[in-house]
Structure 1
């Protein structure tokens, strides 16, 4: 199989050259057209905040930790959804 490819490439040098030129032109075009951001967004799509308060029931956790935390997180721009649970 490899011998056939090498033999074809030797006998069709012009076709190989045209293929290399086309691939090079395509690569240059792709490099120029690909948008590049100076500061790309590397943030996570989801952030999980875990709070623990040993010896407290879920209602106290909800009132004193979870609710104030969710309220403060809602002012962050581009936040779509905030879910919270107290256990």
Structure 2
């Protein structure tokens, strides 16, 4: 079992910002050009995942990593495989 302070040889990256931007554009099209804010999409995603918008923002910026359940819910919201949003990245030594 890994210790609490163990450093891994990998990290994760995500393209959540990209998917939120795409969803914003889709919502604008759905509303015939009416204004939609990124904040609206982030809030909708947060509600869908049963987390706060701050949690979504921290995941988006790469400050926090989502739990497996939240990562799966995010992928489900965007209707894409989880690997399309979250990727492993090897750390250089």
The TM-score bracket by the shorter chain reads under 0.3
Indicate the structure with greater strand content.
2
TM-score normalised over the length of structure 2: 0.26
**TM-score, normalisation: structure 1:** 0.27
Greater RCO between the two (CA within 8 Å, min separation 6)? 2
The structure number with the bigger radius of gyration is 1
